[in-house]
Protein backbone atom coordinates (compact mmCIF):
# COMPACT_ATOMS: atom_id res chain seq x y z
CA UNK A 1 0.00 0.00 0.00
CA UNK A 2 1.32 3.43 -0.93
CA UNK A 3 2.42 5.81 1.82
CA UNK A 4 -0.17 8.41 0.76
CA UNK A 5 -3.05 5.91 1.09
CA UNK A 6 -1.73 4.81 4.49
CA UNK A 7 -1.67 8.46 5.58
CA UNK A 8 -5.27 8.94 4.42
CA UNK A 9 -6.41 5.79 6.27
CA UNK A 10 -4.63 6.97 9.43
CA UNK A 11 -6.43 10.27 9.17
CA UNK A 12 -9.83 8.61 8.60
CA UNK A 13 -9.28 6.38 11.66
CA UNK A 14 -8.31 9.44 13.65
CA UNK A 15 -11.58 11.20 12.77
CA UNK A 16 -13.54 8.00 13.55
CA UNK A 17 -11.82 7.73 16.94
CA UNK A 18 -12.81 11.32 17.67
CA UNK A 19 -16.44 10.29 17.13
CA UNK A 20 -17.08 12.01 13.80
CA UNK A 21 -19.99 10.40 11.88
CA UNK A 22 -19.42 12.59 8.85
CA UNK A 23 -16.21 13.92 7.44
CA UNK A 24 -15.60 17.56 8.31
CA UNK A 25 -16.27 20.09 5.60
CA UNK A 26 -13.24 20.73 3.40
CA UNK A 27 -11.79 17.38 4.45
CA UNK A 28 -10.93 16.37 0.91
CA UNK A 29 -9.53 19.79 0.08
CA UNK A 30 -7.28 19.70 3.16
CA UNK A 31 -6.14 16.20 2.19
CA UNK A 32 -5.35 17.37 -1.30
CA UNK A 33 -3.62 20.46 0.00
CA UNK A 34 -1.20 18.10 1.62
CA UNK A 35 -0.94 16.00 -1.52
CA UNK A 36 2.64 14.83 -1.71
CA UNK A 37 4.25 15.27 -5.06
CA UNK A 38 7.71 14.19 -6.07
CA UNK A 39 9.41 17.07 -7.71
CA UNK A 40 12.61 17.21 -9.61
CA UNK A 41 14.23 20.49 -8.59
CA UNK A 42 17.78 21.43 -9.47
CA UNK A 43 18.38 17.82 -10.49
CA UNK A 44 17.23 16.40 -7.14
CA UNK A 45 14.00 14.59 -6.36
CA UNK A 46 12.20 16.11 -3.43
CA UNK A 47 8.78 15.43 -1.92
CA UNK A 48 6.65 18.57 -1.84
CA UNK A 49 3.23 19.71 -0.68
CA UNK A 50 1.58 23.01 -1.51
CA UNK A 51 1.28 23.92 2.18
CA UNK A 52 5.00 23.32 2.66
CA UNK A 53 5.75 25.55 -0.32
CA UNK A 54 3.42 28.27 0.97
CA UNK A 55 5.16 28.14 4.33
CA UNK A 56 8.50 28.62 2.63
CA UNK A 57 7.12 31.52 0.55
CA UNK A 58 5.63 33.16 3.65
CA UNK A 59 8.97 33.32 5.41
CA UNK A 60 11.06 34.04 2.30
CA UNK A 61 13.68 36.77 2.56
CA UNK A 62 15.65 35.85 -0.57
CA UNK A 63 15.27 39.32 -2.11
CA UNK A 64 14.74 42.87 -0.90
CA UNK A 65 11.02 42.84 -1.82
CA UNK A 66 10.51 40.93 1.44
CA UNK A 67 11.55 44.04 3.40
CA UNK A 68 8.81 46.25 1.97
CA UNK A 69 5.91 43.80 1.91
CA UNK A 70 2.89 43.95 4.19
CA UNK A 71 1.82 40.39 3.36
CA UNK A 72 3.25 37.69 1.15
CA UNK A 73 0.83 36.72 -1.61
CA UNK A 74 0.81 32.95 -2.17
CA UNK A 75 -1.16 31.31 -4.97
CA UNK A 76 -4.78 30.35 -4.28
CA UNK A 77 -7.52 28.19 -5.73
CA UNK A 78 -8.01 24.52 -6.36
CA UNK A 79 -4.99 22.28 -6.03
CA UNK A 80 -6.53 20.03 -8.69
CA UNK A 81 -7.27 22.93 -11.05
CA UNK A 82 -7.10 22.17 -14.75
CA UNK A 83 -6.56 25.84 -15.50
CA UNK A 84 -3.85 28.02 -13.95
CA UNK A 85 -3.47 31.79 -14.31
CA UNK A 86 -0.09 33.41 -13.66
CA UNK A 87 0.17 37.16 -13.16
CA UNK A 88 3.11 39.43 -12.55
CA UNK A 89 3.37 40.66 -8.95
CA UNK A 90 0.96 41.64 -6.18
CA UNK A 91 -0.36 45.21 -6.28
CA UNK A 92 -1.17 47.46 -3.33
CA UNK A 93 -4.47 45.76 -2.48
CA UNK A 94 -3.04 42.27 -2.83
CA UNK A 95 -0.17 43.29 -0.52
CA UNK A 96 -2.69 44.51 2.05
CA UNK A 97 -4.94 41.43 1.84
CA UNK A 98 -2.34 38.75 1.16
CA UNK A 99 -4.36 37.32 -1.74
CA UNK A 100 -3.69 37.44 -5.50
CA UNK A 101 -5.81 39.53 -7.88
CA UNK A 102 -8.26 41.13 -5.45
CA UNK A 103 -8.07 44.71 -6.78
CA UNK A 104 -9.64 46.20 -9.93
CA UNK A 105 -7.52 44.02 -12.24
CA UNK A 106 -8.58 41.06 -10.12
CA UNK A 107 -12.26 41.86 -10.66
CA UNK A 108 -11.67 41.78 -14.40
CA UNK A 109 -9.85 38.46 -14.09
CA UNK A 110 -12.68 37.02 -12.00
CA UNK A 111 -15.18 38.13 -14.70
CA UNK A 112 -13.10 36.36 -17.33
CA UNK A 113 -12.89 33.17 -15.26
CA UNK A 114 -16.66 33.18 -14.76
CA UNK A 115 -17.30 33.92 -18.43
CA UNK A 116 -15.20 30.86 -19.19
CA UNK A 117 -17.62 28.80 -17.09
CA UNK A 118 -15.58 28.40 -13.89
CA UNK A 119 -15.83 29.67 -10.35
CA UNK A 120 -12.72 31.43 -9.09
CA UNK A 121 -12.16 28.63 -6.54
CA UNK A 122 -12.06 26.05 -9.36
CA UNK A 123 -8.96 27.49 -11.03
CA UNK A 124 -5.54 28.26 -9.56
CA UNK A 125 -4.25 31.85 -9.52
CA UNK A 126 -0.71 32.84 -8.71
CA UNK A 127 1.98 35.39 -9.51
CA UNK A 128 5.51 35.32 -10.87
CA UNK A 129 6.79 37.11 -7.77
CA UNK A 130 5.00 36.82 -4.45
CA UNK A 131 5.79 40.21 -2.88
CA UNK A 132 4.64 43.70 -3.91
CA UNK A 133 7.35 45.74 -5.68
CA UNK A 134 7.61 49.34 -4.36
CA UNK A 135 5.67 51.99 -6.30
CA UNK A 136 4.16 49.22 -8.44
CA UNK A 137 7.35 49.01 -10.49
CA UNK A 138 8.04 45.96 -12.66
CA UNK A 139 9.80 43.15 -10.79
CA UNK A 140 13.54 43.04 -11.51
CA UNK A 141 15.20 40.11 -13.28
CA UNK A 142 16.90 39.07 -10.04
CA UNK A 143 13.65 39.12 -8.06
CA UNK A 144 11.93 37.11 -10.79
CA UNK A 145 14.58 34.45 -10.93
CA UNK A 146 14.81 34.12 -7.12
CA UNK A 147 11.05 33.57 -6.98
CA UNK A 148 10.94 31.20 -9.95
CA UNK A 149 11.63 28.04 -7.90
CA UNK A 150 8.33 28.63 -6.05
CA UNK A 151 6.39 29.02 -9.27
CA UNK A 152 7.97 25.86 -10.71
CA UNK A 153 6.92 23.93 -7.63
CA UNK A 154 3.37 25.27 -7.74
CA UNK A 155 3.05 24.23 -11.38
CA UNK A 156 4.41 20.76 -10.66
CA UNK A 157 2.05 20.17 -7.75
CA UNK A 158 -1.14 21.57 -9.30
CA UNK A 159 -0.17 20.10 -12.65
CA UNK A 160 -2.75 22.05 -14.69
CA UNK A 161 -3.82 21.04 -18.20
CA UNK A 162 -3.52 24.62 -19.45
CA UNK A 163 -1.73 27.74 -18.20
CA UNK A 164 -2.75 31.28 -19.12
CA UNK A 165 0.02 33.82 -18.57
CA UNK A 166 -1.20 37.35 -17.88
CA UNK A 167 1.17 39.88 -19.37
CA UNK A 168 4.76 39.76 -20.48
CA UNK A 169 6.56 39.00 -17.22
CA UNK A 170 4.86 35.62 -16.62
CA UNK A 171 5.03 34.85 -20.32
CA UNK A 172 8.76 35.41 -20.70
CA UNK A 173 9.55 33.57 -17.49
CA UNK A 174 7.79 30.42 -18.71
CA UNK A 175 9.35 30.85 -22.15
CA UNK A 176 12.75 30.82 -20.42
CA UNK A 177 13.60 34.21 -21.88
CA UNK A 178 15.63 35.43 -18.95
CA UNK A 179 17.16 38.82 -19.50
CA UNK A 180 14.90 39.61 -22.45
CA UNK A 181 11.74 40.62 -20.65
CA UNK A 182 11.77 44.14 -22.03
CA UNK A 183 12.49 43.04 -25.60
CA UNK A 184 9.19 41.98 -27.16
CA UNK A 185 5.63 43.19 -26.63
CA UNK A 186 2.95 40.79 -25.40
CA UNK A 187 0.80 41.96 -28.33
CA UNK A 188 3.30 40.21 -30.66
CA UNK A 189 3.36 36.99 -28.67
CA UNK A 190 -0.30 36.48 -27.82
CA UNK A 191 -2.22 34.41 -30.32
CA UNK A 192 0.53 31.76 -30.15
CA UNK A 193 0.70 28.76 -27.86
CA UNK A 194 3.95 27.45 -26.42
CA UNK A 195 4.73 24.65 -24.00
CA UNK A 196 6.20 24.62 -20.52
CA UNK A 197 7.04 21.06 -19.42
CA UNK A 198 4.50 19.76 -21.96
CA UNK A 199 1.75 22.03 -20.58
CA UNK A 200 0.25 24.38 -23.21
CA UNK A 201 0.79 28.00 -22.22
CA UNK A 202 -1.51 30.64 -23.65
CA UNK A 203 -0.16 34.17 -23.28
CA UNK A 204 -2.59 37.04 -23.05
CA UNK A 205 -2.80 40.65 -21.93
CA UNK A 206 -2.53 41.52 -18.26
CA UNK A 207 -5.95 42.57 -16.85
CA UNK A 208 -4.44 45.88 -15.66
CA UNK A 209 -3.58 46.63 -19.32
CA UNK A 210 -7.13 45.69 -20.33
CA UNK A 211 -8.52 48.18 -17.80
CA UNK A 212 -6.70 50.89 -19.77
CA UNK A 213 -7.27 49.37 -23.24
CA UNK A 214 -10.76 47.97 -23.16
CA UNK A 215 -10.89 47.44 -26.93
CA UNK A 216 -8.31 44.62 -26.57
CA UNK A 217 -10.60 42.63 -24.30
CA UNK A 218 -11.95 40.69 -27.24
CA UNK A 219 -8.39 39.47 -28.02
CA UNK A 220 -8.12 38.11 -24.48
CA UNK A 221 -11.51 36.48 -24.99
CA UNK A 222 -10.08 34.77 -28.10
CA UNK A 223 -7.14 33.53 -25.99
CA UNK A 224 -9.56 32.27 -23.34
CA UNK A 225 -11.44 30.33 -26.00
CA UNK A 226 -8.21 28.70 -27.15
CA UNK A 227 -7.65 27.64 -23.52
CA UNK A 228 -11.17 26.18 -23.36
CA UNK A 229 -10.61 24.26 -26.62
CA UNK A 230 -7.45 22.75 -25.17
CA UNK A 231 -9.19 21.86 -21.90
CA UNK A 232 -11.66 19.77 -23.86
Q: Which is nearer to ligand URA, 101 or 150 (CB)?
A: 101
List 75, 87, 139, 203, residue binding ligand URA (CB under 6 A): 87
Contact 112, 220 (CB under 8 A): yes
Q: Is 127 in the site for ligand URA (CB under 6 A)?
A: yes
Can you give the length of the chain in residues?
232
* Using rule CB under 6 A, residue 91 touches ligand URA: yes
Please give the residue whose beta carbon sits closest to ligand URA in the complex. Answer: 87
Distinct helix (H) and strand (E) counts, the chain? 11, 8
DSSP percent split of the chain into helix, strand, coil, nearest 5: 50, 15, 35
Q: Does 101 bind ligand URA (CB under 6 A)?
A: yes
Instruction: Note the Cα 148 to chain centre separation in Å.
Output: 11
CB of 15 to ligand URA, least distance (A): 35
Task: Detail the DSSP E strand segments found in the chain.
Answer: 37-41, 44-48, 76-77, 83-87, 124-127, 162-166, 194-196, 199-204
Is 90 a binding residue for ligand URA by CB under 6 A? The answer is yes
* Binding flag, residue 131, ligand URA (CB under 6 A): no
The footprint of ligand URA on this chain (CB under 6 A) covers a number of residues equal to 13
Could you please report the per-residue DSSP string of 86-145?
Answer: EES---HHHHHHTSSS-SHHHHHHHHHHHHTT--GGGSEEEESSSSPPGGGPPPPHHHHH
x/- binding map, residues 173-212, to ligand URA, per CB under 6 A?
-----------------------------------x----
**CB neighbours of residue 152 within 10 Å:** 19
Specify the residue, 77 or 106, whose C-beta has the smaller distance to ligand URA: 106
Is 95 a binder of ligand URA (CB under 6 A)? no
Q: Under the criterion CB under 6 A, does residue 88 sit at the interface with ligand URA?
A: yes
- Say whether residue 110 binds ligand URA (CB under 6 A): no
Q: Which stretch binds ligand URA (CB under 6 A): 4-12, 88-96, 149-157, 220-228?
A: 88-96
The residues that touch ligand URA, with contacts defined as CB under 6 A, are: 87-91, 94, 100-101, 103, 105-106, 127, 208
Amino acid sequence: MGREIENILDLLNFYKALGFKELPKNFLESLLRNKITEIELNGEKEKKTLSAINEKISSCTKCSLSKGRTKVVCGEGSITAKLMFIGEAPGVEEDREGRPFVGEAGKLLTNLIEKMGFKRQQVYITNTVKCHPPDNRDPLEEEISLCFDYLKEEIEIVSPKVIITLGKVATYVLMGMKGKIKDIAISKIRGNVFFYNNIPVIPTFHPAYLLRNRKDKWLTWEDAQEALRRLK
